[in-house]
Amino acid sequence: MDHPIAVHKTIGLGFSDFANDPNIDQFAVQYSSNTSKGFHNAMVSAWANANGRYSLNLAEGHPDAFGSQARLRSWAAAMGGAYVMHVRWDIASTDTNDLKDCGRLVSFMESLPLNKMSPHDELAFGATDYVLANPGEDYVAYAANRNGDMGLKGIEAGTYDFTWLNITNGEYVKQVGISVGAGSQSWSAPSGIGNELAVYLHRTGGPTAEIGGDLNSDGVVDIADVQACAAVVLGMTTDPNVVGHADVNNDGKVDIRDVQTIVNVVLKD
């Protein structure tokens, strides 16, 4: 029968006995921490150790958690690259609100291209606590108790769709076609999104698109992009969203060669 095989270890993050076994698909982790951050850091460490060989499941976290403590632990572990279970929970006796919290986490994570994403906390900026990302394409920024604007470091310039989630009540806010500059950027949460939140950024256009040269992020490369690049070369525009797209040949500078590259794309089409 073709089904996944998991191994549950009773303590710690060591998995050396099974790490290279091609028959093992999942490390079912048992771990203890008094903080959600402790669980997050443990899962990030276990993710690095796994190196893509097997999946992670926080199968047994101690002490037992319920209510907001369970919700914070679940999100902390998920943002560390792990599935999550809670011991001593069952459908009949578990509080409905706890089950709803789990459902919101599942729905949000299943909407992502998770097979391409991994923990990238080094990209956290502003009020962001943890980051999952496929850098350059997809990012999730999470905050347990936001104090300020959500942000990311080293983000690729381009056009993004934002999906904001109020984790405590499941309210979503979608923002489409947001222009984002390169580097460290931050954004205010929309009305109705509280301080325990996640935001998913999906890049829909920009300088590393397959054909390159779409400086104005309108989805096509045409004479308008040639003019925009020439304006950057001549110092007539300093708009970071345009400048960030202008080095289309990726040689570290914007010059006439970039203008010619875009002209070549236009003529080819």
Q: Would you give the distance in Å from CA 94 to the centre of its chain?
A: 30
Summarised one tens digit per residue, pLDDT across range 73-90 is: 999 999 999 999 999 998
Residue 213 lies in a domain: no
**pLDDT averaged over every residue in the chain:** 91
- Structural domains in the chain (count): 3
Asked if residue 209 has pLDDT above 70, the reply is: no
Domain that holds residue 245: 223-268
Are 106 and 121 in a shared domain?
Answer: no
Say which residue, 131 or 245, is predicted with more confidence: 131
Q: Which residues pair with 130 in a beta bridge?
A: 142
Show which of 110, 143, 165 is a domain's final residue.
Answer: 110
Residue 1 lies in a domain: no
Q: What is the mean pLDDT of residues 256-268?
A: 86
Are 10 and 77 in a shared domain?
Answer: yes
In whole angstroms, give the CA distance from residue 217 to residue 175. 16
Q: Which of 161-165, 197-201, 260-264 has the lowest mean pLDDT?
A: 260-264
Q: What is the mean pLDDT of residues 124-135?
A: 97
Q: Which of these, 176, 117, 184, lies nearest to 151 by C-alpha position?
A: 184
Residue 218 lies in a domain: no
Are 21 and 85 in a shared domain?
Answer: yes
Length of the chain: 269
Query: What predicted TM-score, i.e. pTM, was given to this entire model?
Result: 0.77
Show which of 87, 110, 133 is a domain's final residue.
Answer: 110
Are 128 and 197 in a shared domain?
Answer: yes
Residue 177 lies in a domain: yes
Residue by residue, what is the 3-state secondary structure of the chain? CCCCCEEECCCCCCCCCCCCCCCCCEEEEEEECCCHHHHHHHHHHHHHHHCCCCEEEEEEEECCCCHHHHHHHHHHHHCCCCEECCCCCCCCCCCHHHHHHHHHHHHHHHCCCHHHCEECHHHEEECCCEEEEECCCEEEEEECCCCCCEEEEEECCEEEEEEEEECCCCEEEEEEEEEECCEEEEECCCCCCCCCEEEEEEEEECCCCCCCCCCCCCCCCCHHHHHHHHHHHCCCCCCHHHHHHHCCCCCCCCCHHHHHHHHHHHHHC
Are 120 and 196 in a shared domain?
Answer: yes
Are 246 and 168 in a shared domain?
Answer: no
In whole angstroms, give the CA distance from residue 164 to residue 171. 8
Show which of 56, 83, 110 is a domain's final residue.
Answer: 110
In whole angstroms, give the CA distance from residue 141 to residue 6. 29
Residue 214 lies in a domain: no
Are 104 and 142 in a shared domain?
Answer: no
